[in-house]
Structure 1
Amino acid sequence: METTSFKRSRLAFAIAALCIGSTTSMAGAQESAAPVSAEETVTVVGQAARLRTSLNQQRMSDNLQTIVTSDSINALPDANVSESLQRLPGISIERDQGEGRFVRIRGLGPDLNSVSVNGTQLPAPEGDRRAVALDVLPSGLVSSLVVTKAPTPDMDANGIGGNINIKSISALDKDGPFGKAKIEMSHNELVDKTSPAGALSGGTTLDLGTDGARLGVAAALSWEEREFGSDNVETGGAWDFGEDPAVLEEIEQRDYLITRERLGAALNLDLELNPDNLLYLRTMYSRYSDDEKRVGNIFEFEDHLAEGATGSAEVERELKAREEVQEILSASLGGEHRLREWLVEYSISASEASEKEDDGLGGAVFVAEDSFDGVGFRGTRKPDVSGPASLYQATTFSLDEVELADSEATDEEQNVRFDITRDLSFGAHPGLVKFGAKASQRTKETDENVWVYDDFESAGISADRLGMENFAGGELDYNPGRVGSDLKADAIRDLVSGLNKADYFDEEESRINDYRIDEDITAAYLMGRVDVRGLRLLGGFRYEHTDLSAEGTRLEDGEFLDNRVSNDYGNLLGSLHARYEIGDRTQLRASLTQSLARPTFEQLSPAFVIEDDEAEFGNPNLDPLESDNFDIGIEHYMGPTSAISAYAFYKRIDNFIYSTDVAGTGEWADFSEAKTFDNGDTAELRGVELAVSHKFSSLPAPWNGVIVGANGTWTRSDATVTSTDDGTPVRRNVRLPGQSDTTGNLTLGYETDRASIRLAGNYKSDYLMEIPDVADERYDLYEDDHFQLDLTASYYLMDNLMIQFDAVNLTDRPYYAYTGSEQYNAQYEEYGRTYRLSLTMTSF
């Protein structure tokens, strides 16, 4: 299918005409005497150690961005890039096993944002997503993190929420040689494990002795191996609200033991031939290993049970054990050349991300011969299961099924771009015109092979070898109650290793999850900027054309067919930014921009599964989400280390994507179920951001060391979703999935020349996770609100030697998700507190 979309082009042209038209009308004016950079930022630093420098950057910048520097990252107990970003206004994070992972900007989900390293967009390791899990990247590799909330035309348009650009270290940013070394030990109280970490970074600038030429060399290396765990009890939303009180169909207990290893490296070379000519090579590599073991119980009640009641239940013991390895490699080669009033920039970049799992134990299931009587639970938020003692006896269960899997997902992107800037002076008003183009090619591939071993006795394995006692270890420590004995993954793998794998190959599961998606994007833009007294205007437009092709498998009533589809669309996007100075200390900012977000790879998947009157499939013909964005704000500077800001924003999003059931309509008229993805009509997001940073340096000692930082974001959203209920169309108004009404941070700190202490609280309110049934809001899944308190204290033993203590999750806050209302559990998980002690040596 081919379509070409020029939606909202009138607005794009209007914005372009307003800015470019006013600029070109003065093209005959004299040239600017001094170059003016086209890269502008609004800086709001989360708890920065150097407030003066950060606030000065904010005051002089143009378009709406948020930055956290390496000083800020080190000032709080944030182990990875995701956790560093959560301190900023409008930013919240999704956690996995208690660690920050994916980033949300202004309440919009991670797949609606883009991530880049040194300006090069990063692909995603996970097979079905565009979102990059930022816990993959150690914070020790980062020079600064730049979150753009209002893009300029010279930026990629992808990212309705915004873009996160990770800048690695550069020697040209330093005066002379520099270096930093850090060693660390952390302890997780839930599993009583201690884990090591370390980081090393440094660089220098070499004088080449030819016309002022110099070479900047900077490198960084970071490593961490962390052992921790979690205790979980979840229903997955399996409540039946047709009864009063609600009754439960199924419940699971899970005990996790996890080892995560992060290895990161960066090498940057900057060759400055002279002040007007620069060549560079910027690279970053990250390897993330997640070795996870999960032992659990699954209780399926024969008659759905209310709290406090008992009945019969079928019970399974299950073990999952797998190691996933994610890798990201990014490299960019480019140059910058100043030719009088012209600035020419170009780059060739390549990035690759992958996720691989070898011999993963997707599930070893142990079953009992009979169901159990007298099984029940107490508590609907944190259910505590009770039952006969035989529930936890290894001799009660025997091995019924083993699933092993190998999988690999790769995401590769190559791009080439050039940008040309012409500095101009329109009478007494300096300005510039900038234009350029970019071409990128992206390929996403997934490949999975699954083997399911069952009917062991037919394979010659005797029943006595299948007893769970042959695979059991000691009793597990499980806080929500009792979960039973540990299980040994190696013993299970040894049991099936002698069987012929070909006999157990699951062709359906293996083939249906394999696909390839090619996405080619070509883009061009034109923008201009002009200063008129206290007013700066920057604006223009960008056009992006997307060609998509997808290859996958259609499984229809047991028959495999190849499925190939294509799609084609174009988007013209405009933007206008204004900054106006009101006196020496106050300035106004406003932005009118347009952006887009392409569907995720899961949503675009060409896979079809059709069996009898049920179907499940992706939708490669989805339109991208398109957004008109408006931002307006005011900033006031009370002094060199104090500022307060307020922003209001509004987004109108067309074509937002949601999961739906189209059974009973069109070609699916005779189906009872047909699950897919579709474009919605229009959604709206509006909100307010407030931020304040202040160091009380003007107060008499000891109060001059007090630091306060606070920010809050309040958002609201409206969207409409549709589905069918017994063939009847159903529509419902909802808030956007992933959007928290309130997020905020409060940091209280105290600093002297040698000592520093900071107490930081982070809060986000509940948000909608999933809509299982459009027709019945009682089954909507929500993540509960979350407040976490962290502490950092540091002391300089010598001028260049610092010791630091971190306490993470001081209040031992668990993760909680619920179904419909807060009293009904979907998932409860607790992680315990983590303590870290580190020693850092710096040399500048």
Structure 2
Amino acid sequence: MTKITHMPRRAALLAGISIASIALGSSVHAQEAPQQPAASEGDIVVTGVRASLSSAQALKRNSDVIVDSIVAEDIGKLPDRNVAEALQRIPGIQVQRRYGEGSSVAIRGLTQVRTELNGRDIFTASGANQLNLEDIPSELLAGIDVYKNPSADLIEDQLSGTINFRTRKAFDFDGFKAAASLTQSHFDLVDRYKPSASLMLSNRWETGIGEIGILASVSFQKTAFRQDTISTEPFYTLDPTVAGDAAVLATLGRTGQTTTLPHGTGIGEVYGDRRRLGTDVSVQWRPSDTLELTAEVFRSDYKFRYDDYSFFAYTSNSAIQPLPGAPFTYADNGDFQSGTFINLPVGNNTSAETRRSKTTDYSLNLKWKPSANLTVTADGQYVDAKTKNLRSIFGLNGTADTLYQDISGSVPVVNIGSATGLANPATYNSAFYLDNLNESKASDRTARLDAEYRFDAGILSSIKAGIRFADRKNRTIDTGYRYTGLNGIPSQLENVDLSDFFRGDADLFGNIIAFNRSIIRNYQDTLDTLGIASAPAYVQSGTNQQRQKTYTGYATAFFKTDPVDGNVGVRVVRTNLDVSGFYQQIAIIQNPDGTESNGPAEFNPINASRSYTSVLPSLNLRVHLADDLQVRLAAAKNISRPSFGQLNPSLNITEPGRAQQDQLHTTSGGNPYLKPMKSDNFDLSLEWYFSRTGSLTAAGFYKNIKNYIQTAVTPRDVTFNNGNTYEYQVTSFNNVAKGKVKGFELAYQQFFDFLPGPLSGLGMQANFTYVDSKAPSPATTGPVVNVPLELLSKYNYNLVGIYELGSLSARVAYNWRSKYVVTTAGNGTGNLPIFNKPFGQVDASVSYNVTPQFALAVDGVNLTNTRRSTYFGIDSRPRDVVVNDRRISLTARITY
């Protein structure tokens, strides 16, 4: 999807707490490794957090491959609002946050993650090849497995790992099962309460045609958020050979000295909410001991909405004028730290954005055992996914007399002054409106056939082979941004009180006026108020399509000879890809009444096709050094195909209107000629399981990646058919030569049962991940040339204190990650990468089982009110500082 804006963007963030969902019927191919001892009569049956940790540990211990799992034995007993937050406690996983919630993850520093539902494709229709993790309510899941170095029988298309979400089935339970939960959450910055609820019903019956089981589950969640941001951008180094820059240097008394000044600053105050509705219905039929059929329909319906105020003083790449004689301070390298500027354009925007995504997964699975040694599995799936997006922006423009900035502290000081006052309509001389609509529809048809034959004796324990066909399509229609120049300043303005902005910790410029938020939240009301007849029309040139067919065959041999077991295999994949779109330019035309609007589109079609075959061998070895100690070795080749969004060839460029001329002009598009990324993966792990819930593990990994895809920003002069030329910062993607990722993970968990009395309920989890990577930056000159891979923190750790004794369970978790690259090239910054500073946050939960069937829980997220900050390449050039909500939730759960 192509986007175009003419204003500073904002950042994202925040948090969650962990221990997720349950697991029976794992897709992990378990072998006859040492098992946890079964409970016998008189044994204490472990429940709650201990049972969850015990089950997760058993899955990791007994798997044929390197895998970590999240398991919650109690139905719905999960404090996390979505699956991204549930995943953040697993070693090697780092969570990206958007408006206060986890939205995506990186595994061992790489974001090229494959998402599956019960071992099948699952994705959001948005041009991505994976599921948007914030879409799925975690209550629907039975468990989550994270595969870090796959075997040949697992589906390809990932560099870092595969996340498989497992749902419950009726045959997981002995008979009738019911569970329900009700939650009320408070979000403190936005000061709103939102409810959540879930219900699961399951039963199984013996009938005249065999055993039948039915399970139905539904989850409903609402959340709210507010995000406050202070931004500084872009930075430009003064060029003494340019007359305008030389004059500025002279005014500053810096002639002959390297000097870098910011050309803009501003604030944003975003209000929004999310709604998740998830349903899962499955029917199982076992007509005989050798045949089992499972049909399932899984549906996720996600709504996201925000509206905001933003106010900024901004000259883009035009010169910024210092106040003569005013004091200025600089960092040692000549970067601006504080000072006063004069006569700056100011922008005052009120905007709204909505997204609705629906993903429905239909699947049918047949499992047949014609003999004790042979198992044949046939599987079919159809995924139907739809996403609709709306962006609506009202803007006022004027001029500020002065701007004082001090960016030397943790919270930048921003004081914008105007003789007429920022809350006075007379300060603003023009207004405009932008709107954009787009829709994506995606589908996936897959079929696979697998067979496994187990041997009764010998080194070879089994052979597994299969074939798979997948046909995935994605089609996006986009109106492009429609510009409407308004004739005068509308009267529907309101006073915005900024006294509590940034929790009252910001040094700002007082109140402002802005277009009414209650109007901008309703798209039709906005059009009616501004006198715009209709929404923009979808046109042929706003369409892009991608289609990908894959033909796969694999064979894997599983072997065992004391003390070694493992598997070796190869996967061969043929990929056929077709993409199409348009290059489009839209010039502004002058209407007879003096207003401006979009003219007719000029466009040219773009089509690209390619095919390639990938051969992907893999080897997994495990050595049992003792009953409780084992070593794993793994090596594999893998590929990660470019996402459909990255391949989208369309590029839409709309000429800026009169009211936008002083703002930064940006656009983005894909690259249809991207190659798939290839990686050679090597893993080594040592695992010590010293008790049912106690383990100490260490893992090292190395990935050698070719054709790694990174973001690149290129300035481009665009001339429209009316003769006007403007510079655009065009964001796209390219294949850098290669990248390397290496590191290690340490993980420890234990309950201290040996302690006396109440202290025996204490336990802890701890893990640490080190990831080192290197890839060339798109920038070839300047202060930062080589950077880590995007979204990769070198250091990440989790510390979780646990208490569980009797009916009481409590947990306090701290998650921390070091700095990471948000993007390898930012707009208007000399192509510098944008870094997120190190940050950590504290989450906690307490639950009490009032009866065996009824429990109460309270949990808190972001209890330390963590701020997140970004900077351009070097920390003397800050970009954004962001605060989000703390969340406190009270939950009641019933299980029968």
- TM-score normalised by the shorter chain: which range applies? 0.7 to 0.9
Q: CA deviation at 1:304?
A: 5.6
Q: Do the aligned partners of 1:48 and 1:69 also contact (CA within 8 Å) in 2?
A: no
1:90 corresponds to 2:92 = yes
Q: Distance in 2 between matches of 1:822 and 1:235?
A: 12
Residue 232 of structure 1 aligns to a residue in which SS? strand
2:478 corresponding residue in structure 1: 448
Which amino acid in the other structure matches residue 515 of structure 1? N
Contact 2:60 2:67 (C-alpha < 8 Å) held by counterparts: no
**Cα 1:805–1:660 shift into 2, 3 Å:** closer
Please say if residues 527 and 534 of structure 2, whose CA atoms lie closer than 8 Å, have aligned partners that are also in contact.
no
> Is 1:254 aligned to 2:254, yes or no?
no
* Map of 1:343 onto structure 2: 375
Deviation for aligned residue 1:383? 2.1
Q: How much has 1:672 moved relative to structure 2? A: 11
Instruction: Give the share of equivalent positions with the same residue, in percent.
Output: 24
Q: 1:84 to 1:660 in 2, by over 3 A?
A: closer
* Residues 1:436 and 2:458 aligned together: no
For structure 2, the residue ranges without an aligned partner over 5 or more in a row are: 1-25, 37-46, 240-256, 323-335, 587-600, 656-665, 717-726
The partner residue of 1:422 within 432, 448, 453 is 453
Displacement of 1:816 in angstroms is: 1.6
Aligned equivalents of 1:292, 1:673: Cα separation in 2: 26
Amino acid at match of 1:540: G
Distance 1:547 1:796 in 2: 55
Matched letter for residue 466 of structure 2: G
Matched residue, 1:273: 287
Q: Tell me which residue corresponds to 1:378.
A: 406
What secondary structure sits across from 1:789 in the alignment? strand
User: Where in structure 2 are the equivalents of 1:630-669 lying within 5 Å?
Assistant: 630-660=682-712
SS of 2:422's equivalent?
helix
* Distance in 2 separating the partners of 1:593 and 1:332: 29
**Is the counterpart of residue 233 in structure 1 residue 230 in structure 2?**
yes
Q: 1:491 to 1:101 in 2, by over 3 A?
A: closer
Q: Go from structure 1 to structure 2 and tell me whether the alpha carbon gap of 1:99 and 1:451 turns closer, same or farther (over 3 Å shift).
A: closer
Matches for 1:21-60 after TM superposition, within 5 Å: 39-40=29-30, 49-60=51-62
- Name the structure 2 match of 1:303: 320
Give deviations 1:298-345, integer Å, cap 9, x for gaps.
211562664232422211110111321111111211100001121110
Q: What residue in structure 1 maps to residue 679 of structure 2?
A: 627
State the alpha-carbon separation in 2 of the partners of residues 606 and 672 from structure 1: 17
Q: 776-785 vs 239-248, which deviates more?
A: 239-248
1:471 maps onto 2:493 in alignment: yes
Q: CA offsets per residue over residues 145-168 of structure 1, 9 Å max, x none?
A: 011111111111111111111101
1:771 Cα offset (Å): 2.4
The answer to whether the aligner puts 1:596 opposite 2:639 as a matched pair is yes
Contact kept? 1:47, 1:709, Cα under 8 Å: no
Change in 2 beyond 3 A, CA 1:337/1:220: same
Is the deviation greater in 538-547 or in 223-232? Answer: 223-232
Match of 1:21 in 2: none
Instruction: Work out whether residues 719 and 736 of structure 1, in 8 Å CA contact, stay in contact via their aligned partners in 2.
Output: yes
Aligned to 1:19: none
Q: Which residue of 1 aligns with 2:170?
A: 171
Of 747, 762, 774, 1:691 maps to 747
Partner of 2:848: 795
CA distance in 1, matches of 2:526, 2:515: 14
| 1:744-782 deviation line (CA, Å, top 9, x unaligned) | 111101111111111011111111122227999882201
> Could you say what secondary structure the match of 2:675 adopts?
coil
Tell me the equivalent position of 2:299. Answer: 285
Aligned position for 1:217: 214
Rounded Cα–Cα distance in structure 2 between residues aligned with 1:816 and 1:398: 33
Alignment of 1:326-337 (within 5 A): 326-337=357-368
Secondary structure, aligned partner of 2:190: coil
Mapped contact 1:354–1:410 kept (Cα < 8 A): yes
Aligned with 1:160: secondary structure?
coil
* Match runs of 1:461-540 below 5 Å: 463=488, 466-467=489-490, 469-473=491-495, 475-476=497-498, 477-479=500-502, 480=506, 481=508, 482=510, 484-485=512-513, 487-489=515-517, 491=519, 494=525, 496-497=527-528, 513-540=542-569
Query: Are the equivalent residues in 2 in contact too, given 1:721–1:774 (CA < 8 A)?
Result: no
Alpha-carbon shift at residue 611 of structure 1 (Å)? 11
Match in the other structure for 2:17: none
CA distance in 2, matches of 1:355, 1:624: 25
Deviation at 1:719, TM superposition (A): 1.8
2:868 corresponds to 1:815: yes
1:365 to 395, 416, 438: 395
Q: Deviations over 1:402-450 (max 9, x none)?
A: 12222111221110001011112453x3511111110001111111124
Distance of aligned partners of 1:761 and 1:76 in 2 relative to their CA distance in 1, 3 Å threshold:
farther
Find the partner of 1:782 among 816, 826, 835: 835
Shift of 1:487: 3.4
User: In structure 1, how many angstroms separate the alpha carbons of the residues matched to 2:891 and 2:283?
Assistant: 29
CA contact (8 A) 1:723 1:775 kept: no
Structure 1, unmatched stretches of 5+, are 1-35, 458-462, 665-670
CA contact (8 A) 2:564 2:623 kept: yes
Q: CA contact under 8 A between 2:233 and 2:263: conserved in structure 1?
A: no
Write the letter of the residue equivalent to 1:266. D
1:625 is displaced (CA, Å) by 0.3
Counterparts of 2:787 and 2:781 in 1: how far apart (Å)?
A: 17
Deviation at 1:536, TM superposition (A): 0.7
Aligned to 1:832, the other structure's residue is in SS state coil
1:46 shift after superposition: 13
Change over 3 Å in CA distance of 1:617–1:813 after alignment to 2? closer
Distance 2:570 2:562 in 1: 24
Cα distance in 2 between the residues matched to 1:413 and 1:758: 40
Corresponding letter in the other structure for 2:820:
Y
After superposition, the C-alpha distances for 1:786-844 in whole angstroms (9 at most, x for unaligned) are 2010010111111211110111101100222111223432222111311111111111x
Query: Within 2, Cα distance between the matches of 1:524 and 1:246?
Result: 57
* Residue matched to 2:583: 554
Mapped to 1, the partners of 2:198 and 2:873 lie a distance apart of: 45
User: Distance between the aligned counterparts of 1:822 and 1:532, measured in 2?
Assistant: 56
Aligned match of 2:151: 152
Pair 1:583-2:582 in alignment: no
Q: What whole-Å deviation, never above 9, does each CA across 1:478-512 have from its counterpart, x for those lacking one?
A: 223445346325646546438886899589xx666
TM-score by length of 1: 0.86
For the residue of structure 2 that corresponds to 1:50, the secondary structure is: helix
Aligned CA distance change for structure 1 residues 264 and 74 (closer, same or farther; 3 Å): closer
Cα 1:828/1:723, change in 2 over 3 Å: closer
| Deviations 1:605-657, CA, capped at 9 Å, x for gaps | 22256999x99763322210011101111111212221111111111111111
- Partner in structure 2 of residue 70 of structure 1: 72
Q: What residue number does 1:29 align with?
A: none
Distance 2:369 2:562 in 1: 27
Indicate if the aligned counterparts of 1:94 and 1:100 stay in contact, CA closer than 8 A: yes
State the distance in 2 between where 1:672 and 1:233 align: 24
Match of 1:115, as an amino acid? T
Task: Check the 8 A contact 1:296/1:483 in 2, yes or no.
Answer: no
Q: What is the letter of the counterpart of residue 220 of structure 2?
A: W
Return the alpha-carbon distance in structure 2 between the equivalents of residues 674 and 450 of structure 1. Answer: 15
Mean CA deviation greater in 705-714 or 320-329:
320-329
Letter paired with 2:482: V
Number of residue-to-residue matches in the alignment? 778
Partner of 2:440: 409
Aligned residues of 2:219 and 2:277 also touching (Cα < 8 A): yes
Report whether the alignment pairs 1:717 with 2:716: no
Q: State the secondary structure of the residue aligned to 1:308.
A: strand
CA contact (8 A) 1:73 1:139 kept: no
